[in-house]
Amino acid sequence: MALRTIGPKAAAALDEELMSAGAFSIDQLMELAGLSVSQAMYRLSPPTQSPNVLVACGPGNNGGDGLVAARHLHYFGYKPIMYFPKQGKNEIYGRLRTQLEQLRVPFTDDFKAAIAKSDWVIDAIFGFSFSGEVREPFPAVIKALAESKIPVFAVDAPSSWNIEGGPPSDGPGKDYNPDALISLTAPKPLVKWFKGRHFVGARFLGQEIADKYDIDVPQYKGSDQVVEVPVSSVKL
């Protein structure tokens, strides 16, 4: 079965429905999404191989998924380092930050120095709601991701890519193609241009709501929260 993709408007409507009629809280959805990110990271490279993971978080929900993932990475034995230069307004970001501070997970303002000391980097800067221009301080960060010598794992979207149109034709993300990507709930159309290892996570959709949004629940194995799905198995 080839998985169908979901565009940014439908993905936003799905999130909205889960949190209204679905009665989910943002805390629940972000916890399950972030957990699946951390478990995909474990499959990509366990902490014995790559303890130092730099987690770059944007100001919105994608950044929140990164904050949750980093906490679970700490529990798994990694030594995450956080780059989180702009905290969004929703109070959840402050709580997720405090949870990491309680675990003594360090935060840095110097992305370039941190990437030089890391084994992997997680791009949780922008997700499916991104469009338009990359704002400060992220252009230099995305340029560093594009030029990164260490592998990059993107959450839901390679940051700066157009969700439907793929990599930008110019700007800092022009030559950015991460090594791995996790699609949350369902792949976005941009996976057409993506060439690395691809996972699907955020296992919280029932069949009924998946049908309503014309997407497919992937074949998770057992009680797993994440599944690897080659891009060739996505209906583009």
Residue stretches of the annotated binding site for (6S)-NADPHX: 61-65, 127-133, 156
Q: Which of 38, 118, 159, 162 binds its own copies (CB under 8 A)?
A: 38
31 lies in the site for its own copies, by CB under 8 A: yes
Tokens for 37, please give them.
């990110």
Tokens for 105, please give them.
């997970």
21 lies in the site for its own copies, by CB under 8 A: yes
Torsion of CA 188, 194, 200, 202, to 10 degrees: -50
d(CA 42, CA 15): 26
- Site map 59..78 versus its own copies, x via CB under 8 A: -------------x-xxx--
- Closest separation in Å from C-beta 208 to its own copies: 7
Cβ proximity to its own copies, 131 vs 219, nearer residue: 219
d(CA 95, CA 97): 5
148 lies in the site for its own copies, by CB under 8 A: no
- Closest separation in Å from C-beta 166 to its own copies: 30
222 lies in the site for its own copies, by CB under 8 A: yes
Neighbours of 13 (CB within 10 A): 14
98 lies in the site for its own copies, by CB under 8 A: yes
Neighbours of 3 (CB within 10 A): 22
Residue 206 burial (CB < 10 Å; 0-12/13-18/19+)?
exposed
- Closest separation in Å from C-beta 14 to its own copies: 13
* Binding span for its own copies by CB under 8 A among 51-59, 147-155, 185-193, 204-212: 204-212
Give, rounded to a whole angstrom, the gap between the first and last alpha carbons of the chain: 13
Per the annotation, where are the binding residues for K(+)?
62, 123, 159
Cis upstream peptide for 85 (omega within 30°): no
50 lies in the site for its own copies, by CB under 8 A: no
Sign of CA dihedral 208, 212, 220, 120: negative
- Closest separation in Å from C-beta 28 to its own copies: 5
Cβ proximity to its own copies, 151 vs 168, nearer residue: 151
94 lies in the site for its own copies, by CB under 8 A: yes
Q: Is the distance from CB of 135 to CB of 129 less than 8 angstroms?
A: no
Q: Which of 1, 49, 102, 149 binds its own copies (CB under 8 A)?
A: 102
